[in-house]
Amino acid sequence: MTAEFTVRDAVFDFCRRMGMTTVFGNPGSTELRMLRDFPADFEYVLGLQELVAVGAAAGHALGTGGAALVNLHSAGGVGHALGGVFNAYRDRIPLVIVAGQQTRAMLPTRPFLGADEPAQFPRPYVKWSRQPERAEDVPAAFAEAYRVAMTPPRGPVFLSVPEDDWDRPAEPVPHREIRAGFAADPAALRETADALNDAANPVIVVGSGVEDENVSHLVVSLAERTGAPVWISPLSGRSGFPEDHALFKGFLPPVRNRLVAELEGHDVVLVLGAPVFNYHVHTEGPFIPEGTKLFLFDCDPTLTAWAPVGTGVLTTLQAGLSGLLELVDKADRPAPEPRPRLARPQRADPIDAALVVEALRERMPADAVLVEEIPSHRDMFHARFPITKPGTFLTMGSGVLGWSLPMGVGRALAGSGERIVCVLGDGAIMYSVQALWTAARHRLPMTVIVMNNGGYGAVRALGRRIGMDGVVGADIAGIDYAAVAGGLGVPGRTVTSAADLEGALDEALAHEGPFIVDVAVAADEEAMYWSATER
């Protein structure tokens, strides 16, 4: 080692070896020394707000399959980003978040822009967080952070670095590797396989963990071998099973009594990579039908411990499913009744939101990736737009708005030119509309469709459920979304008549860079999942 080799050199050298050469951030004074002599083979992606930086990093991580590097500004920047950190944690997206801190000598004086107890600030929504005791410990801590982020269950980690640490001398990070896959106890696999073999009517429930581990093909094999129908878990952030498959049943509702009703008649339930007890509305009653056996396979010990009923089997899904496929017998069970194809809505004004979805589905490029954030229309959307290939659908699994637009930006940056189509609510886009500037700056192949129903439709629906005639603060009016986008460098169109819809979508999907279509849709007064007793 020479005096010229610094903490900064060691960290960037490690990032280079791990393939983390894209940095997402919004820099401030405490990050400048990290960015000094920024390596020519790295790229800094600027987000105009920290939520945008974290969301774009998440989309990039999902596109590449590796961890993404995020650079935030001290306590204020971390505070702005926490909604995104929460999303990344719940959706198991590996992010290495590095925040600046004032110099070590200044910390006893509680300086301007200093972070008090920085390692505690993002908890509990990071897997790991530190501020190293010494500057020379920063590279090793950074490497540990990366390994924790990438170890199942994957997720965000946090490192606070005093700004003067970057110029201190340091040693390179030694090469290390982790083999992170682990298998269930053989007796647990045998118990689960015996239950499936003996079952009269088993069912499988999949969550975002299936796509996180790239094992959709194994789920298909297991479903076909057992003849078990497949549900997607409530409010999943990804798909996990081809929705045009004969065994696909649909989407479980996030309401306890309705979920139990859907599982009625199944004597064995196998849950794969999902918090199946993910409710949005409280109801009383059992968690599963009486007499039903439930097995939960997941790599997260917290999730398997938290599940209120059933048998938790701690395993990565690759190992668990491979083991089950060796033990489960071929069964001859009839496929469930085909899901009905919904009729195409009439072309009329005001525009039916379902017409927008159908028109988009008909025009969707074969290799496009769909990113959704329309809580008001989510049930309708998924009933009309089946996801058939892994990795082609992303959404917010945690419910924190503003996630999907920057996630689409990051996914586009990680792509090879495929079109990213973001379908957003008029409320959702305003949480992170600054992401359009980043899309324009990089000329990303993105189509953004705003389903403009004049407010927070999901909040209105929840209000109706509890007997409220109106909800304070749920109306949005007076925003020209095409004009806002234009000011950020993204061209667009406003559509108020159904006669103009198809032409606008064609233009948006063919545009070389990003393009926005603001579609005025009728307010949805239909019952949503929380207000119906049956699907």
Provide the annotated active-site residues: 28-29, 31, 50, 73, 280, 399
Nearest CA to 26 out of 2, 56, 47, 5 is that of 47
Tokens for 416, please give them. Answer: 């090879």
Separation of alpha carbons 271 and 417, rounded Å = 35
- Token pair 């399959």: residue: 65
Q: Is residue 160 within 8 Å of residue 97, measured between CB atoms?
A: no
Nearest CA to 423 out of 479, 359, 476, 474 is that of 359
Q: Residue 533: beta bridge partners?
A: none
Q: How far is CA 178 from the centre of its chain?
A: 25
Distances (CA, A) of 527 to 97, 233, 258, 294, 425: 40, 20, 14, 30, 18
Find the distance separating the first CA and the last CA of the chain, reported in whole Å: 66
Q: Is residue 208 within 8 Å of residue 92, measured between CB atoms?
A: yes
Distances (CA, A) of 500 to 179, 336, 368, 380: 54, 39, 23, 22
Separation of alpha carbons 433 and 447, rounded Å = 14
Sign, CA torsion 185/191/197/202: negative
Separation of alpha carbons 87 and 58, rounded Å = 9
Number of continuous H segments (helices) and E segments (strands) in the chain: 18, 18
Q: Is residue 272 within 8 Å of residue 210, measured between CB atoms?
A: yes
Q: Is residue 204 within 8 Å of residue 229, measured between CB atoms?
A: yes
Sign, CA torsion 436/360/393/419: negative
